[in-house]
Amino acid sequence: MHIKQQETERHTLSVTVDNEAGVLARIAGMFTARGYNIDSLTVADVTEDDSISRITIVTTGTPAVIEQVVAQLDRLVNVHRVIDLTERGNFVERELALVKVAGTGEHRIEALRLAEVYRARVVDATTGSFVFEVTGASEKIDKFIELMSEIGLIEVARTGVAAIVRGKEAV
């Protein structure tokens, strides 16, 4: 017997929650308990009194699973609102990465040239290495890292995705 796999989609969800102890464990734990995927998760409080946090989750699953993820998140007592940005459309998504690259001579020059194309900033430099800061959609960062790996990639730190709907309205 073999276990069958189904077609999946990538969705970005925006979740507003009460900013209190344990809320992240509840959300992350719900994903593991129900066998859902988290591709990335970012969290920070976003109100002046620090009472509400905004969590951005990127998840993949079949359409039915995504619908369940949203409903299950909504069911948690500390969750105020869940918005499936991918479903809604018209939103911007950004991620920041720090990319460490080592090399000398031609490699160094090539790294700087590529960084310029990707509008990556140098935030640390030694004679043998650079740390670049690059922001953008996840695919752009993936691509940048892929190029750097041919040059001398040492390590990467990524923030995960933050996302917001375009236009003047708040969601």
Partner 1 sequence: MTTEMSGADILIQALNDQGVEVVFGYPGGAVLPIYDALFNQQRIKHILVRQEGGAAHAAEGYARSTGKPGVVLVTSGPGATNAITGIADAMMDSIPMVVITGQVGTPLIGSDAFQECDTVGITRHVTKHNYLVKDPAKLGDIIHEAFHIATSGRPGPVVIDLPKDVQVATAPYRRTNVNALPHRGYKPQVKGDLAQIEEAVELLANAERPMIYTGGGIINSGPGASLILRELVRLTGAPVTSTLMGLGALPASSPHWLGMLGMHGTYEANMAMNKCDVMLCLGARFDDRVTGRLDAFSPESKKIHIDIDRASINKTVRVDLPIIGDVGRVMEDMVKLWKAKELRPRDLKPWWATIKTWQERNCLAYPEKLDSGEIVPQLAIRKLWEATHRQQPIITTEVGQHQMWAAQHFDFESPNKWLTSGGLGTMGYGLPAAIGAQLGNPKALVIDIAGEASIQMNIQEMGTATQYRLPVKIFILNNEYMGMVRQWQDLTYGSRYSESYSDSLPDFVKLAEAYGWKGIRIETPDQLEQGIADMLAHDGPVMVDCMVAKMANCFPMIPSGAAHTDMILDPAQVSGVMDDEAKALV
C-beta neighbour count of 11 within 10 angstroms: 21
> What track of x and - describes contact with partner 1 for positions 40 through 69 (by CB under 8 A)?
------------------------x--xx-
Cα 68 to its chain centre, rounded Å, is: 21
| Between 32 and 104, CB nearer to partner 1 | 32
Rounded CA gap, 67 and 52, in Å? 24
C-beta neighbour count of 47 within 10 angstroms: 11
> If binding is defined by CB under 8 A, does position 35 make contact with partner 1?
no
* Among residues 5, 7, 49, 77, the one that binds partner 1 under rule CB under 8 A: 77
Output the six-digit token pair for 10: 């990538």
Q: Distances from the Cα of 31 to the Cαs of 4, 74, 90, 107, in angstroms? A: 21, 13, 26, 42
> If binding is defined by CB under 8 A, does position 80 make contact with partner 1?
yes
Name the minimum Å distance from CB 19 to partner 1: 12
C-beta neighbour count of 16 within 10 angstroms: 18
> If binding is defined by CB under 8 A, does position 38 make contact with partner 1?
no
> If binding is defined by CB under 8 A, does position 21 make contact with partner 1?
yes
Chain positions contacting partner 1, by CB under 8 A:
1, 17-18, 21-22, 25-26, 29-30, 33, 64, 67-68, 71-72, 74-75, 77-81
